[in-house]
Structure 1
Amino acid sequence: MKYQIVPVTPFQQNCSIIWCEKTKSAAVVDPGGDIARIEQQLAHHGLTITKILLTHGHIDHVGGAKALSEATGVDIIGPHKDDEFWLTSLAEQSKHFGFLPAQPFVPNRYLAAGDTISVGEQTLQVLHCPGHTPGHIVFFNQQAKLAWVGDVLFKGSIGRTDFPQSNHQQLVESITQNLWPLGRDVTFIPGHGPISNFGAEREQNPFVADQLLA
């Protein structure tokens, strides 16, 4: 599986284009905005977008999903249904964070733990990882040892838990019980900032390092 990070929105959110190298079938993860930039990169790589995948309902991750879906005719998939209240409040979120107006939408499909998503001949496993938001999910490709973790985990940090229905302890449990078992050699693409791997975070992350939680 191949991927390219496309920073979008004033928050420089890591939207990702991911694709099957054999079929050139692609998915776009968390298109928060700047749709023209995303479409330009799809064309540059000769890719055919087949679906839009969402990790959670915050506007910097979903603000461009409806426009991209309407422009390409592909389905919006995810997040978990517990983030429905975030998707219905997009107009309020856009005002609060100073984003361009965004209208509420309903995904074509919500996701749950244990679901799988196909991108060409590649498969993504779905993990429900609440804490930052109640319906946050993570996408994992076993073959490439790659995970798209949204705002659950960052290089040297973890997601904020000062939002409605956030929960710090639940977030820590999502990381240590759902992500760490995937393997120390898994590289993860966070919603913001540089990539890292689970092994490095288990050693150095000041919020979830193994020695802090022993």
Structure 2
Amino acid sequence: MTIKCSIVPVTAYQQNCSVMVCEETGKAAIFDPGGDIDKIEAAIASLGGTLEVIYLTHGHMDHCAAADVMRKKYGVQIIGPQKEDAFWIDKLPEWCKMTGFPHADPFTPDRWLDDEDSVSFGNQQLQVKFCPGHTPGHVVFFHEQARLAIVGDVIFQGSIGRTDFPRGDYDTLIASIQTKLWPLGDDVTFIPGHGPTSTFGHERETNPFVADGKFA
């Protein structure tokens, strides 16, 4: 494997901010920095990395509230999610105030993503899968060589993302999982937005929402 990876639970929501470092170059990417910047910085340092880019799976506050602060501090780009999540990012101050979450200003990513885009950090390539349902602009990042996916709140060990938020849709989420994630392979390990890692194969066997037997 040509990457080192660390999972950093951040904020009161214990959101999994992932840190990846390209072993060949030392360049680091962070995924979904929702807060607790000091913890994220410590993880980057412990892996011997230098921050190059910030990736976002979607626009919920616990996944993106610290992104713009870190973009300005390090002079790096924010890439993702898909542009349909712009309304979530635009309303960050309202959602933070409503839930007692630390304040975050709205921002605009440097680049919106679409299905089958490719992004990179260091010498590493990531495939982008557009997986709406939890939010309308949710994306997943897949490192094919490492057989690793950063899935945000699309799927969890034993569960799936909520669809009762504005513009969430249950049927769309199920379709995203079945048509965009399952074809990547049962052996793929995924890091969800909350909770422990799992594999797509394990979830196809055991997840009560999307197990293959549920749709037989």
TM-score class, shorter-chain normalisation, is over 0.9
Correspondent of 1:116 among 115, 118, 123: 118
2:60 paired with 1:62 = no
User: Secondary structure, in 3 states, of the residue corresponding to 2:80?
Assistant: strand
The question of whether the paired residues in 1 share the 8 Å contact of 2:58 and 2:82 is answered with: yes
2:23 paired with 1:21 = yes
The question of whether the paired residues in 1 share the 8 Å contact of 2:21 and 2:47 is answered with: no
**Which deviates further from its counterpart, 18-27 or 101-110?**
18-27
User: Secondary structure, in 3 states, of the residue corresponding to 1:202?
Assistant: helix
Q: Could you tell me how far apart the structure 2 residues matched to 1:95 and 1:207 are?
A: 32
Cα RMSD after superposing both structures = 0.7
Correspondent of 1:75 among 74, 77, 89: 77
User: Secondary structure, in 3 states, of the residue corresponding to 1:110?
Assistant: coil
Q: Could you tell me how far apart the structure 1 residues matched to 2:61 and 2:158 are?
A: 23
Alignment of 1:122-161 (within 5 A): 122-161=124-163
User: Secondary structure, in 3 states, of the residue corresponding to 2:9?
Assistant: strand
The question of whether the paired residues in 1 share the 8 Å contact of 2:4 and 2:47 is answered with: no
What is the CA distance between 1:44 and its match in structure 2?
2.2
**Which deviates further from its counterpart, 187-196 or 42-51?**
42-51
List runs of 5+ in structure 2 lacking aligned partners: none
The question of whether the paired residues in 1 share the 8 Å contact of 2:57 and 2:139 is answered with: yes
Given residue 192 of structure 1, which amino acid in structure 2 is its aligned partner?
H
List runs of 5+ in structure 1 lacking aligned partners: none
Correspondent of 1:180 among 182, 199, 211: 182
What is the CA distance between 1:43 and its match in structure 2?
1.8
Q: Could you tell me how far apart the structure 2 residues matched to 1:127 and 1:42 are?
A: 25
User: Secondary structure, in 3 states, of the residue corresponding to 1:124?
Assistant: strand
What is the CA distance between 1:45 and its match in structure 2?
2.0
Q: Could you tell me how far apart the structure 1 residues matched to 2:49 and 2:13 are?
A: 26
Q: Could you tell me how far apart the structure 2 residues matched to 1:157 and 1:65 are?
A: 26
Given residue 27 of structure 1, which amino acid in structure 2 is its aligned partner?
A
Q: Could you tell me how far apart the structure 1 residues matched to 2:6 and 2:60 are?
A: 21
Q: Could you tell me how far apart the structure 2 residues matched to 1:166 and 1:114 are?
A: 22
Correspondent of 1:35 among 10, 30, 37: 37
What is the CA distance between 1:121 and its match in structure 2?
1.1
